[in-house]
């Protein structure tokens, strides 16, 4: 394989708290790429393997990709060598696919007991639906999470694919990998991680389950304080047809909201009684329809009224708080890329430099 490259000629591909961590990613869709992007943005060296001729999906940024034909036995041998040089493997295929390729956890961890092998799926490795297809919407539906996004008398509204793919999937993947790395530091042993969107999304509903067990959350959609049941936690139309979000849950904030809307302070009395909610909702709605979204945003900006404009993705970059936090990086033609809040993002070196540093031949 040759000598170790000089560090001055071949600098580390990224900087950050995970610098030196080596990850092999079998490129998939949705949660696995997002989770690996997070690891790469934190400084890990991630090499993404994809099928020959396949397009690079979204979220495969800050890392090099390499085409590999896993049907070729010689290529699979080289891929196993690549895995042997890694700390973490991430794959997002249906259960059994990696085993049929001879690249399952039992195959590659026989001599690499410190390897962390993360399996990212929707349904998990076991259960009656494990081998069936699904997407974010299916996973959040059966966990009860989609039902939470339902107005009274309405239909559930899918929150794009943020909740399942990225909240319950990718973040759960990254957290599980980091926990396994910490445990390996204590024990020297790696792990096989069965990470599923259905598990992670169910975990995200912890607060609602706790409230339900206390008798303070109803299964009737749109009747709870946090699911648009309460008029002081909802979205309202303004004079220009655009919207504002009102989140004045606590009494002091609700009083501030009434002041901004120029409504009777007496409306704060009995606001927790659901019997008063229809009239209160009407009063708030009527007031908000008298001005435009941006007018209300300016009036509420320096208050505790918890009133915010509902912005689209292009507008979000111009919001003063978002702009000050510098969480969106400007590109060409007013395109924006979210960056990791901790700011550890760095561009990777070329894939051949990475392979040389790992002492592995190109598959």
What CATH architecture applies to the domain 22-205+348-358? Answer: 3-Layer(aba) Sandwich (3.40)
The helix/strand/coil state of 64 is strand
Domains of the chain, residue spans: 22-205+348-358, 233-310
Report the helix count and the strand count for the chain, using DSSP H and E.
14, 11
Tokens 């900006």: give the residue: 301
Report the catalytic residues: 135, 165
What pLDDT shows up at residue 9?
31
What pLDDT shows up at residue 1?
28
Mean pLDDT by 10 residues, the chain (363 residues): 32 70 94 95 93 88 90 94 96 95 92 93 97 97 97 95 97 98 96 98 97 96 96 98 98 98 96 96 98 98 97 93 88 83 65 82 83
What pLDDT shows up at residue 158?
95
What pLDDT shows up at residue 149?
96
CATH fold, domain 233-310, is formyl-coa transferase, domain 3 (3.30.1540)
Tokens of 264: 């009777």
**Which residues, 6 or more positions from 10, have their beta carbon under 8 angstroms from its beta carbon?**
349, 353, 356, 357
Q: How far apart are the C-alpha atoms of 264 and 137, rounded to whole Å?
A: 42
Q: pTM for the full model?
A: 0.88
């Amino acid at each position: 394989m040759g000598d170790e490259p000089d560090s001055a000629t071949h600098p580390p591909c990224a900087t950050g708290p995970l610098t030196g961590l080596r990850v092999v990613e079998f490129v998939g869709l949705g949660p696995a790429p997002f989770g690996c992007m997070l690891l790469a943005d934190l400084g890990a060296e991630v090499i993404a393997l994809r099928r020959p001729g396949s397009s690079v999906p979204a979220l495969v940024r800050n890392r090099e990709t390499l085409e590999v034909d896993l049907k070729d036995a010689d290529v699979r041998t080289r891929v196993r060598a690549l895995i042997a040089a890694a700390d973490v493997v991430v794959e997002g295929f249906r259960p059994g696919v990696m085993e049929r390729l001879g690249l399952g956890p039992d195959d590659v961890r026989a001599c690499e007991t410190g390897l962390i092998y993360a399996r990212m799926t929707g349904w998990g490795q076991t259960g009656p639906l494990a081998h069936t297809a699904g997407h974010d919407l299916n996973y959040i539906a059966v966990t009860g999470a989609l039902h939470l996004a339902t107005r009274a008398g309405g239909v559930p509204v899918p929150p794009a694919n943020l909740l399942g793919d990225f909240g319950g999937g990718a973040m759960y993947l990254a957290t599980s990998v980091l926990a396994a790395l910490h445990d390996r530091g204590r024990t020297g042993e790696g792990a096989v991680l069965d990470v599923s969107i259905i598990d992670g999304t169910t975990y995200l509903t912890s607060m609602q389950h706790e409230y339900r067990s206390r008798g303070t959350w109803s299964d009737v959609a749109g009747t709870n304080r946090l699911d648009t049941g309460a008029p002081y936690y909802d979205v309202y139309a303004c004079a220009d047809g655009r919207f504002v979000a009102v989140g004045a849950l606590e009494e002091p904030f609700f009083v501030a909201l009434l002041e901004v809307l120029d409504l009777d302070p007496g409306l704060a009395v009995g606001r927790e009684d659901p019997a008063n909610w229809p009239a209160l909702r009407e009063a708030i709605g009527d007031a908000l329809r008298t001005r435009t979204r941006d007018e209300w945003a300016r009036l509420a900006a320096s208050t505790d009224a918890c009133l915010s404009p509902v912005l689209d993705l292009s507008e979000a970059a111009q919001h003063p708080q978002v702009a000050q936090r510098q969480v969106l990086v400007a590109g060409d033609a007013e395109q924006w890329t979210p960056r990791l809040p901790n700011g550890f993002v760095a561009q990777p070196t070329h894939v051949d430099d990475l392979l040389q540093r790992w002492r592995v031949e190109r598959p």
